[in-house]
Amino acid sequence: PQRWMFSGLRLAADGAAAQNEGDHEAFRRDMIEGLTRRQKSVSPKWFYDAEGSRLFEAITRLPEYYPTRQEAALLRRVAPVWAGRFGAGAVLVELGSGASEKTRILLDAAPDLAAYVPIDISPSALAEAAARIRTDYPELKVLPLTGDFEHLSPPPPEAGPGRRIGFFPGSTIGNLSPEAAEALLRSAREHLGQGALFILGVDLVKDPSALVAAYDDARGVTAAFNRNLLLRANRELGMDFEPDAFRHLAIWNATESRIEMHLQVMKAMTVRLDTLAFRFAEGETLHTENSRKFDEASVRTLAEAAGWRLQAFEVGPDPAVGLALLEA
């Protein structure tokens, strides 16, 4: 039997109170550590409180933000073919499931799945998504896990022994450094076990103006998503960021092949966390996200370094995203 432990995840049923307590300390530690660096930074995982998850869903519907739509269309094309390889009783494990909208394309293409294990850092987004999936797929066991997909923990035994299918869409892997992305894929391979498959969605390198527009939309939804991190820090950590003093920046870093989001402070200021004080010079930035862009060669290199084989790589129409099928 495959016993895979992604430690650090909690069954969503454990209750939101305990979850929020744990998150709170980790958020504080990350904030202190990030504000102490020369280039101040905060992990993008802290974007996703209830409001941040809502803002992200609004981003996915923006005209400039093509990845969600393009990936859904590509997944509709490849899912019937790839699902033919799952086998009966397979278990779909989704990393960073959010609203579980794309999942439906796979669930519709693979009606004999035994269980669905959505993993997400936002307890509210996870609970709402799990409830909607249960309603629409009454035969499917839905076993949600709250937590950070970088610390995977055991799929509950109720998932059964079927082949594990990892699902990591949306180019969320692009948030991670190359080293962390490789470590995540390696741990997923170890934990998903013999015969596992893994469907990985990546955004592809393209004209920088299209990339920048996708992360700096005309309506300012992405700017609000970025600033929400400061509002969350004020509320949950008692900090005193002035969100209006920060400008949203989206920058194409060609050397690292990534879009970077920053919050740039327009005047010198000091921000407090308990007894600590962090000084910002005028024009200094807080780096909040990397979103790495790939091509087939960079996906193959990453997958193989993590011990997977690249079985298929499909590219959609422009603005193009890619879907990789990996096999353990």
Is residue 197 a contact partner of residue 85, using CB atoms and an 8 Å limit? yes
Smallest distance, ligand AVJ to C-beta of residue 227, A: 12
In terms of Cα–Cα distance, which of 125, 173, 163, 165 is closest to 145? 125
Which residue in the set 59, 130, 181, 303 belongs to the binding site for ligand AVJ (CB under 6 A)?
59
Site track for ligand AVJ across 165-184, x = CB under 6 A: -----xxx-xx---------
Site track for ligand AVJ across 273-302, x = CB under 6 A: ----------------x-x-----------
Smallest distance, ligand AVJ to C-beta of residue 151, A: 17
121 Cβ neighbours under 8 A, 6+ residues apart: 23, 45, 48, 96, 146, 147, 148, 149
Residue (223 or 306) nearer to ligand AVJ, CB: 223
β-sheet bridge partners, residue 290: 260
C-alpha to C-alpha distance for 226 and 241, rounded to whole angstroms? 13
Residue of minimal Cβ distance to ligand AVJ:
291
**Crossing angle of the two packed helices 221-237 and 50-59, in degrees rounded to 10:** 170
Site track for ligand AVJ across 184-223, x = CB under 6 A: -------------------------------x------x-
Smallest distance, ligand AVJ to C-beta of residue 312, A: 21
Within 60-79, the residues that bind ligand AVJ by CB under 6 A are 67
Q: What does the block give as tokens for 297?
A: 């060669």
C-alpha to C-alpha distance for 297 and 275, rounded to whole angstroms? 48
Summarize as ranges the residues that interact with ligand AVJ (CB under 6 A).
59, 67, 170-172, 174-175, 215, 222, 289, 291
